[in-house]
Structure 1
Amino acid sequence: MKTAPHADLAALRASETARMLAACTQCGACFDACPMIPYAPDAKGADPAQTVRGVLDVLTGGEGDAAARGWIAACTRSGSCNDACPEAVDPMFMLRLAKYRANETGMLPKRDAMEAMSRVKVFARLLFSEDEQRDWL
């Protein structure tokens, strides 16, 4: 007998959350590698290890802190964090799951169209050459 798709998703979330909690040493290397931190006002200048602890708190249903929520909201899934993680936690997925949880509980404010466009430009700067930035942005 097949299980409902939402049951499969809930089981995946639970198992991945447990795996991440067990594997993460909260070293903060993922935070340090993130190219979006300068664009996340609440996370800019925050303690990397404390911010990761906040993300893990959000992941498990807590509120985290302002820096963690700011980082979660700013994540563009660049993948830079995954390369930096010494424990292969998959911080990009960790942030995605935390964002899903934060959106479920209403912890993250809704974004307007202008803010979304600024995020697109920031992400484009990560991928475009200087010539492309000059021509397109």
Structure 2
Amino acid sequence: MTPDITTAQIRKIWITAREKGISSELLHSMIFEITKKESVKELNIKEAGKVIERICGKRRARKRCEPSGYIAKMSHDQLKQISNMIVTIERLGKTYTIEAIADKVAQKKPDQLTRVDAVKVATACKEIINRLKKQNQSTHPL
């Protein structure tokens, strides 16, 4: 049996959660999701390490029961990245919407995009940006 959690680990969990802007309620739900335990004090050293890694955002292997990228919905970070690229496209002089690009590339609405579809949309946005930059360079010599 592994030893109980140390006070230093408890502090690390709470401080890291506070730095990342994670509320107490969300932290407890993360703890339950990872360890199936209700409280920070119920954790052992190994479980505390897993919680700290998750809070810090360390990459982890996908478990068999988790959906793959073909099923999982587009992440918030992916949406933010695509939105930023669309703003860049608008600055370069063209008007595109996420709806139009998602429909053209993945034949889906933006709220139905999976992680894999989001990668395809992001790639299409990058190609549009590169094409517009080349066009602008040829029309605006230095």
- TM bucket (normalised to shorter chain) is under 0.3
TM-score normalised according to structure 1 size: 0.22
TM-score normalised according to structure 2 size: 0.22
Larger Rg: 2
